[in-house]
Amino acid sequence: MAAPTKRRISYFYDSDIGNFHYGQGHPMKPHRVRMTHSLVVYYWLYRNMEILRPKPVLLSEMTRFHSDDYINFLRVITPDNMQEYMRQLQRFNVGEDCPVFDGLFEFCQLYTSGSIGGAALLNQKEADIVINWSGGLHHAKKSEASGFCYVNDCVLAILELLKHHHRVLYIDIDIHHGDGVEEAFYTTDRVMTVSFHKFGEYFPGTGDVSDFGHGNGKNYAINFPLHDGMDDESFVSVFRPVIGKVMETFAPGAIVLQCGADSLSGDRLGCFNLSLKGHADAVAFVKSFDVPVLALGGGGYTLRNVPRCWVYETSVLQGTEIKDDLPFHDYFEYYGPDYKLHLPVSNMENLNTKPYLETIKQQLFTILSQVSPTGAQIQTGQPGTSMTPPDAALPETARERESEMEERDPDTRVGDVGEGRKEHPLEMMPEGDGTRR
């Protein structure tokens, strides 16, 4: 047999992502992405990937899904002018879980740019796997922030992939239901959403097994509701058969995989009991189908565990083994006292019984047996095509912003001018490593 072709992997990262801060005491910490990148560098994993800094997306790309007034609101709102926008703050659900902070729009632009840019790379066949650990903010709605998420980069990446792929599969292993993505594609058969999540008196409260799509999208929303204490053995026993059946019946041209790390044991907001290997088994299984994959981040609120998870899953996507002993690096002290990659699971009870898991699995197999072999059209918002909605024109303020962004030097990062942000030293790779910045 011929040796398998090596998968081409691209990795999006901008060191500015670690400069943004949701506020004191808030569980969402973008700094975790910078910590992940530090481990990627010091485990030498960057040598096996093309390292890219995302090109800032335009407002018109964000409004392929989100409403113009919502995106314009995110662009103008600041901690200093909040009092002038009290009605809009309430209307767009911005303020508590989704606070206003300095650089909010630039933050949204950064993580979204990596996901849309990654989808474009897959479309152009310049990569087989693309990684953007800053993305995966799956709760945001068309005109509303939700669950720490403002712009739904998952939806926008899927819309980009739909320009070249007839069918796109979205898989979500965050402990929270991927409600924003499911809602966006609930009535189409060109996108199947599959979510494995905690269900029952838990945010966002959606994702029952009986929620399986509507209209043309009937049977194309797959939900596996789970209980507290989900462990590796139980997770693998449901994930592999369900995704195997999905791949058999739906046959996607590309996959978006949301790898929320809040399903790990010991997460600050989670209640599952997965190890790194159990979580990453899902990543390895998805990779095994040899279909283009966009791997995104998502939840994850125990700061020392999220980088462990995502650097390990970077190694899994590469097929590279890394040592359990963490390399000495900028954030080494976060991982004491053991300084190991893999973390122990707890002795919490697994409330997911085998009969329960089997019952849900068979229900999903029944739903999947009704998936049709063809799909209908969906509006992608691609300019200059018949698939663009007739009322997709941007308002004057958005056109002005887009014009400003087009005139900007593409090699200058958003926020470089006048904001006093410094480049993080880890963004600059050793010379001669063969990667493109």
Residues marked as catalytic: 139
Q: What share of the chain is helix, strand, coil (3-state, %, to 5)?
A: 40, 10, 50
- Can you read off the two tokens belonging to residue 378? 């969906």
Residues forming the annotated binding site for a divalent metal cation?
174, 176, 262
Closest by alpha carbon to 280, among 223, 241, 318? 318
Residues forming the annotated binding site?
97, 147, 174, 176, 262, 301
DSSP string, 258-289: E--GGGBTT-SS----B-HHHHHHHHHHHHTT
Residue 296 buriedness (CB in 10 A; 0-12 / 13-18 / 19+)? buried
What does residue 49 show for φ and ψ, rounded to 5 degrees? -135, 160
Closest by alpha carbon to 274, among 233, 315, 225? 233
| DSSP 8-class letter at 5 | P
Using the structure block, give the residue that is written with the tokens 């791949």. Answer: 247
Which SS3 state, helix, strand or coil, does residue 39 take?
A: helix
Paired with 9 in beta bridges are: 129
Residues forming the annotated binding site for substrate?
97, 147, 301
Residues 6+ apart with CB under 8 A from 315: 43, 45, 321, 322
**Run of H or E including 123:** helix 104-123
